[in-house]
Structure 1
């Protein structure tokens, strides 16, 4: 197999640099200026564009401290360990994980009256049913994404990528990778079950049997997978190295590779997949609450900020008008054919306690098998 000759370091850092290189608008107004301090943020790589970060710090005197996270479960555990006095002000929680954080008193209800730029979010995201729980908003939607089948288009055909079956075929043995926990939901969906497990809330025995079936499928096919991975950067590096030629991925890391010229395609396979929305949330008892609201209002101020976040992360902006600031290639890498979108449903949270109570031990069993 011929190795690509492109510079890996250059490829994997281009997306982050593109956000910094954006011609920055007046994100902030001098009226926001404060006496300084800091705001502590736990978020994914490239979710706070560097150009925005620099201007925010210059104009407010508030230092942004970012701690990178790569997993919702790990973030929950970190925050729970610090409760009731967290060191973090803002986290990045996926909408379908809200209930877990809310029920543990880890999030503060969002006071949207303090966010004059709240209206810049597309109401499809800000006013959707999952966004309001117990009569409150709990996060500002910033980026949306989905679980996709990503493939090296020089090696894997577009037709092969229309089904999850290809990921588990002998044809590409030891050339595939996926995140086990996410794949459990997809396998349940592939088998014709509700991967959100909402249908089985009143039948936990049925839920347990379905999770067991999905677990056994992944154990049976374990000899075919090259690696179980955790974060988007790891997926990108494996693709660039040609350690893998196809894999389950979030659309963001895949889109970033496409925008950098890597021969990558991605699909929402015919068996279906799941979508999700990332939000910025304020921690309960946040140590720098006022600065947290200043940050949130500033990052919601302009569609150009949303475009910068898309350019850097590859995920789809929730901001009105953000696509106007994307190139044709960037627009293409963040869109899907209507027939594929019809295969998509969103993760839901109602059954999360039961679901992850079953899925998390199953994941550990798959790893140990």
Structure 2
């Protein structure tokens, strides 16, 4: 799928429809910020991701260069809501925002972020072409793989095998992953990342056979740990974290080609310190920072000059053939059709 395809056929009306509930969320405040070019305010999730941003990028690379970095930690919807609320201000309150792939695309199409100028990022010379977007820049990536408990069943070779009704109640689905699950099922049924109707009957058959649904990633992990289920699909990076926590699971890249997951950064149109934003993006792509996230979080580097030990790469990474086969979701399609996808999932699949 070309990047141009992802930008076609979307009107502002459809974009706003895809942001149901977006504008009504309360904006989060920040302390008054000092004038000058030395401060960078970064919107991010909290938890391990925020900690590792500080450890591998901010404290290690930016603070020694005289930058003061402040993290504005909040959930993804709250931070996008703040960006929308601030869109008409001459100066916003953040210089960068960390978002996943679909939401990087969304805020750009809404006109509240700016195009990335890669000439201002020297380390972008080593960025994987697939992680270079006009609307944002990929920080880390993983792929949606087939998970299985080797004591409970044979290794599946594909998404189709992972959704086999013969698994009965040993198969689990994650409610909040409905978009990617529907797309994976479409690929399993011979469809595409936009021809999702092809996979609906496959999902319904698995559900009728007893497949379970869990509300969150964490609830799904608990079910795997308790051996209530033994199969499902999930990001490989998360699977590695669960393995490290002692859960008895293995992963397989599906023969259909794994769906890719990208987490990256965007620059608001009214960012107060654009120079600081670009300094942060350049530091983010330093091999040492990328290697730190691979080691500590299980996500793959987006630069080609990062050196990941072979043993670690075998656990978190993908072969050259598997990388070539990765399926990029069509973010425009997801945004345009999210309301309908969620309605089908709730009314037909979960019923």
Fold-level match, TM-score > 0.5? yes
TM-score (norm 1): 0.69
Structure 2 counterpart of 1:348: 330
Q: Quick one: which of 169, 186, 201 aligns to 2:184? A: 186
Pair 1:267–1:356, CA change in 2 (3 A) = same
1:253 aligns with 2:238: yes
Rounded Cα–Cα distance in structure 2 between residues aligned with 1:225 and 1:114:
49
Answer yes or no: is the 8 Å Cα contact 1:236–1:253 preserved in 2: no
| Cα drift, residue 306 of structure 1 | 0.5
- 1:190-269 to 2 correspondence within 5 Å? 190-197=188-195, 211=197, 214-215=199-200, 217-219=202-204, 221-222=206-207, 224-231=210-217, 235-258=220-243, 262-269=247-254
Structure 2 counterpart of 1:4: none
How many residue pairs align between the two structures?
Answer: 307
Unaligned runs of 5+ in 1: 1-33, 132-136, 198-209
Structure 2 counterpart of 1:274: 259
| Cα drift, residue 303 of structure 1 | 0.9
Structure 2 counterpart of 1:119: 125
| Cα drift, residue 253 of structure 1 | 0.6
| Cα drift, residue 87 of structure 1 | 4.2
| Cα drift, residue 309 of structure 1 | 1.2
Answer yes or no: is the 8 Å Cα contact 2:116–2:267 preserved in 1: yes
Rounded Cα–Cα distance in structure 1 between residues aligned with 2:82 and 2:201:
30
Rounded Cα–Cα distance in structure 1 between residues aligned with 2:317 and 2:146:
14
Unaligned runs of 5+ in 2: 1-35
Task: Classify the secondary structure of the residue corresponding to 1:358.
Answer: helix
Answer yes or no: is the 8 Å Cα contact 2:214–2:220 preserved in 1: no
Greater CA deviation, 238-247 or 98-107? 238-247
Structure 1 counterpart of 2:43: 41
Answer yes or no: is the 8 Å Cα contact 2:165–2:205 preserved in 1: no
Pair 1:113–1:357, CA change in 2 (3 A) = same
| Cα drift, residue 314 of structure 1 | 1.5
1:148 aligns with 2:133: no
| Cα drift, residue 173 of structure 1 | 0.3
TM-score (norm 2): 0.72
Structure 1 counterpart of 2:311: 329
Question: What stretches of structure 1 move > 6 A for 4+ residues in a row?
Answer: none
Q: Quick one: which of 307, 314, 324 aligns to 2:291? A: 307
Q: Quick one: which of 317, 338, 341 aligns to 2:301? A: 317
